[in-house]
Homo-oligomer: A and B are copies of this chain.
Amino acid sequence: MNLKLLARELNLSFSTVSKALRDSHEISAATKARVLAKAKELNYQVNPLASSFRKQQSKTIAVIIPEVVNDFFGPVINGIESIAQEKGYHVLIYLTHEDMQKEQSITRLLQNGRVDGIMISLSEETSDTAHLEALQQKEIPLVFFDRIAEHIAVPKVITNDYEAALVATSHLIKHGGKRIAFLSISQNLSIVNQRMNGYLAALEKHGIEQDKNLIISCGRNEEDNLNLIRNLLVGKNRPDSIFASVEKLAVATYQVCSELGLRIPRDIKVITFSNSNMVPFLQPSLTTITQPAYEMGREAAAILFKLIEKKRHSFLPEKTIINSILVQRDSTRQLQ
């Protein structure tokens, strides 16, 4: 009714008004000016629901992530939002809490035009990917970031987990590490596997034999993880270095070390993937591999918008890799 009302006010047909507002070439400059002025005067704004419905595009994207209380996904959202705001898009957030079923039901909600595109970082538990292939089949623009499904052919934005893990492990070796433990987490996660492979490659490269006892599979229960790490560190035969695949395992390591009276880095060196801005203030400050979270968010969003705008035309790179960087701090410092 509102466009109609505005049109009546101007003694114009509402098609004319609609076109004028969208700066159509069919409308004279004079009329456009008149319409714009009146629209401003009456504080007219298009009804986004009607417009979305008519155009079958929502100007909205969905971001599906496992967690938001997280030093990685926070900056990612930041990056995504910054691009979305530039493009005039709206950002829906969905949290899976690492639960595949939730991931599935969320994707089901997004199959029918509610969003113009989807960015997703998979849950730890996602083993079956049918729900993602369903999105792909419906030709909904889709981009994976960080936690990807390797075999699905959509653009992916990741960091160089393999190389970074290789560098991190080499860093530990260079600083005297001989028995280096790897604290793993969920098996389904592409990134953790990449990191583990990087770790193994570094061992091999430096002629260190891999020791199955030094690869610890941690999980989501923090108490269990503490016990696993405690078991690892109590024996005589304990490792001299720990590579935690995620930050929370490094923090758990700190906790266990303090409990057992082990000194970092003298007794044990620690390195981890982390994006926390608190790590410089830990005691000792924690050496980290820091992922370019913000940039990954921006890049993934930029790719998604290209997909949305051109649909099938352009061939986008299947994989975009943005490098992580190692920041040395005291937890891997070699004491003389």
Interface residues of A (CB under 8 A from B): 45-50, 52-53, 56, 58, 60, 67-71, 74-75, 77-78, 81, 85, 90-95, 108-109, 111-114, 251, 254-255, 276, 278, 281-283
Contacts of A276 in B (CB 8 A): 278
Write the chain B residue with the least CB distance to A75. Answer: B69
Write the chain B residue with the least CB distance to A62. Answer: B90
Contacts of A112 in B (CB 8 A): 45-49
Contacts of A56 in B (CB 8 A): 49
Number of copies: 2
Assess A48 versus B114: contact at CB under 8 Å? Given A68-B68, A75-B69, A282-B281.
Answer: yes
Q: Please report the C-alpha to C-alpha distance between residue A95 and residue B80 in the assembled complex, in whole angstroms.
A: 11
For the complex of A and B, the 5 pairs showing the least CB-CB separation, nearest first, are A283-B283, A69-B74, A278-B278, A53-B53, A49-B53
Assess A92 versus B95: contact at CB under 8 Å? Given A49-B114, A68-B74.
Answer: no
Q: Please report the C-alpha to C-alpha distance between residue A75 and residue B251 in the assembled complex, in whole angstroms.
A: 20
Sample of 24 A–B contacts (CB below 8 Å): A47-B113, A48-B114, A49-B53, A49-B58, A49-B113, A52-B52, A53-B53, A60-B92, A68-B74, A68-B78, A69-B75, A69-B78, A70-B74, A74-B74, A78-B95, A81-B93, A81-B95, A85-B95, A91-B94, A92-B93, A255-B281, A276-B278, A282-B282, A283-B283
Q: Please report the C-alpha to C-alpha distance between residue A60 and residue B112 in the assembled complex, in whole angstroms.
A: 15
Contacts of A52 in B (CB 8 A): 49, 52-53
